Amino acid sequence: MYEHIKKEDRKLFDLIGEERARQHEGLELIPSENYTSSAVMEAMGSILTNKYSEGYAGKRYYNGNEFIDEIETLAMERAKKLFKVPHANVQPYSGSPANLAVYLATCSPGDTIMGLALPEGGHLTHGWKVSATGLFFKSVPYHVLADGRIDMDEVRELAKKHRPKLIWAGATAYSFKYDYPAFAEIADSVGAYLAVDIAHIAGLILAGAHPSPVPHAHIVTTTTHKTLRGPRGGMIMVTPKGIAKDAELPQKIDKGVFPGLQGGPHDHQTAAIAVALKEAGTPAFRAYGKQIVKNAKALAKALRGNGLTLVAGGTENHLILLDLVPVFGPSGGVFASDALEAAGMTANKNTIPKDPGSPFYPSGVRLGTPALTSRGMKEKEMEKIGAWISRAVTAVKDFRLPEGKEERVAYLASFKKSLAKNKELAKIRAEIKAFAKKYPLPSDR
């Protein structure tokens, strides 16, 4: 593989090889990561990367786009058919630009918007204060209850009080299904647009493992690389309800993407999205999406059985939040995530609801099963992985984050050095390396 890179740039070739080995030999537990098929990779590396296609199909600012027009139209039609929507834009470079385009289509600077607070599972682009969406719009965040579920009574009260122009449903660290009818009732009651960000659960929706927001929302956005198992890209879809609210909404969305935020689309990415959408329409993909949820529930059970605490005690989708306060006190996510990596498992530190730590030093770890499921693992394998996670956390359970900011830097540097000498983590890593060899990546089959 990569013979031309090997010839032209040996340093880069070696780095790609090291990353390939890392993916093969370890377990990917980050819920927003996945593995694409060889066909998706081929499209991403195709000759299509040479073309510039500013504009839309049939309305380009450059010549020579007759075949690009067909490719983009193919991707759009597949998205419309799969998600049962009348309009789809497949040009967003990723999920964040897609969400920004929604603001351009529905809001003016200074308008009031609502979204789930970032520390409680929300996404930056749903109005968090450090994002452009929190700087240029009046953001009123809503929160979750003690059990981790969205406080729909609070959403209703805040909407009634502030009358937002746009309400977001969707999250980046939320382990429950969404009450789309309730969100729709609230949005309709104040005349707001309801935009649902399904970046994490798009594949689950297509598999029938999670309800679809399309009958309830005006706009649906998604990335294409998480449970959808495509390239890193984004899509925006306008629903029948969205068009009923504003007949010009599809055109406003398109203008929000181009020329509002972007120049020419990435044609190789568009083609790869088309491939992924074709794959997502197969019976095999539907079985895959359902298995993701089965695996997540099995992993949650294994974690509980090994003495770990989960936010809300479990999951209803692909995602699990470990509450590490009982192990480390506040901010234990920094220890657990690094220990897991040293043991051959990639996860990410994450805030938990009402976190006693901070976003930079959170008390949780976010786990997911999409990538594991792509490798063919099932419930039995989740039992082993749950035990490995527990062993890795236990191996570093005596560490505590100092209260002083100056002390923390030196303490964490010392902690990371200790990981290389930790015999238990090295033992787990060797076990995982042998285990992972039995489960090839989809692109190697």
Positions marked catalytic: 52, 54, 197, 223, 226, 232
Q: How many residues in total does the chain contain?
A: 445
φ and ψ at 142, to 5 degrees? -110, 175
φ and ψ at 232, to 5 degrees? -80, 100
d(CA 40, CA 274): 9
Q: Alpha carbon of 426 to those of 160, 406, 413: distances in Å?
A: 55, 30, 19
Identify the DSSP state of 215: T
Q: Do the beta carbons of residue 163 and residue 112 sit within 8 Å?
A: yes
| Amino acid of residue 48 | L
Q: Do the beta carbons of residue 100 and residue 197 sit within 8 Å?
A: no
C-alpha neighbours within 13 Å on the C-beta side of residue 107: 28
Q: State the Rg of the chain over Cα.
A: 22
- Facing residues of 28 across strands? 346
Helical packing angle, 10-25 and 423-436, nearest 10°: 90
**Non-local CB neighbours of 371 within 8 Å, separated by 6+ positions:** 28, 29, 30, 33, 34, 35
d(CA 206, CA 226): 13
d(CA 321, CA 312): 9
Annotate 393-405 with DSSP letters as a single string. Answer: HHTTTT----SSH
Token couple for 268: 């190789």
SS3 of residue 23 by DSSP:
helix
Tally DSSP H helices, then E strands, for the chain.
19, 15
Other CB atoms within 10 Å distance of the CB of residue 444: 12
Token couple for 7: 């010839």
Chain centroid offset of residue 41 CA: 19
